[in-house]
Amino acid sequence: MVNLSVNIGKLRLSSPVLVGSGTFGCGEEFRDLIDLGKLGAIITKTVTLAPNSGNPMPRTAETPYGMLNSIGLENEGADGFIKHKIPFLSNVSTRIIVSIGGESVKEFKKLTEIFDRQRAIDAIELNISCPNIKGRTRLIAQDPRATYRVVNTVRRQTKKTIIAKLSPNVTDITEIAKASQEAGIDALSLINTVYGMSVDLDMRTPHLARVYGGLSGPAIKPIALYMVYQVARQTKLPIIGMGGIMNAQDALEFILTGATAIALGTANFVNPKASIETVQGIKQYLIKHKIKNIKNLIGSLKI
């Protein structure tokens, strides 16, 4: 028997395999396909204070090694989420991490106050790194001082575990990670998508209406692995690794590199059962190598 449980801040997860924000809804779409209880946690699609219609279409495009998206945080707002999603989430037998997004410190504060009162929510992920927000030229997660202000403000509003989702679109991600740590964050999610674009040669136009978007999938895995490696050695924070994880082998590489847990994103679109198959694959690896506890594998990369 192997132990797959891990701790993310104060939050204990029965498995290190999570599903990433924006790729799994709130789990309702997958409940007839997989056993949601076998997941470590579901990270919900990002919720904003007011309803958001998102960016104009087309806002997704396939690439040879992944996908581009420019959804723009489309969602029904905090009130709509509580009314329509919380009833289902209250009965899901796994941890629920709500992802929240805002344009200001004030919005993050208000959203935290709202979800701190929701018993169905176990933790809060701060999406300070979405590259697809209309009108924003600089991400919060591209500025260590702005990151500190948001995290520090949210920290004072809740005792729940809080997680900062960081951007790869920076010169030095460890600088942002350290600012998050100093502000009181419990854990980090990294990485969000990488800036990218693609062009339709026949139409001579970008494939995305907004011209550029966020690249995800296998193409960004080496970038994500490197950044997890960097941050794991520069901070003491638990890391939820993400970026191009398609199967158990990918997941195990992130864990060896320093991630405490991992999240599947684009893989959920390709194979709706990828998350459960990843849980099974990790378990088989541990059995094969006679490792009784997944914690013994975290950060054990030999250099």
Annotated active-site positions, please? 130
pLDDT for 247 equals: 98
The partner residues of 189 in beta bridges, in order of sequence, read 165, 240
pLDDT for 147 equals: 97
pLDDT for 132 equals: 65
How far, in Å, CA of 58 to CA of 52, rounded? 17
pLDDT for 138 equals: 82
Two tokens, residue 12: 């204990």
How far, in Å, CA of 301 to CA of 225, rounded? 12
pLDDT for 1 equals: 86
What would the pLDDT profile of 192-210 be if each residue is shown by its tens digit? Answer: 999 999 999 999 999 999 9
The partner residues of 98 in beta bridges, in order of sequence, read 124
Q: Where are the domains of the chain?
A: 6-296
**Beta strand ranges found along the chain (DSSP E):** 6-8, 11-13, 17-19, 41-43, 60-63, 66-69, 95-100, 123-127, 161-165, 187-190, 194-196, 199-200, 205-206, 213-216, 239-241, 261-264
Q: May I ask the CATH class of domain 6-296? A: alpha beta
pLDDT for 131 equals: 76
Contact 216, 66 (CB under 8 A): yes
> 3-class SS at 69?
strand
Q: Does the CA dihedral 274-275-277-281 come out positive or negative?
A: positive
Tens-digit pLDDT string for the chain (303 aa):
899 999 999 999 999 999 999 999 999 999 999 999 999 999 999 999 999 999 999 999 999 999 999 999 999 999 999 999 999 999 999 999 999 999 999 999 999 999 999 999 999 999 999 876 665 568 999 999 999 999 999 999 999 999 999 999 999 999 999 999 999 999 999 999 999 999 999 999 999 999 999 999 999 999 999 999 999 999 999 999 999 999 999 999 999 999 999 999 999 999 999 999 999 999 999 999 999 999 999 999 999
Contact 225, 254 (CB under 8 A): yes
Per the confidence metrics, is the pTM higher than 0.95? yes
Spatial CA neighbour of 216 closest among 167, 276, 172:
167
pLDDT for 137 equals: 65
Two tokens, residue 246: 């398609």
How far, in Å, CA of 78 to CA of 80, rounded? 5
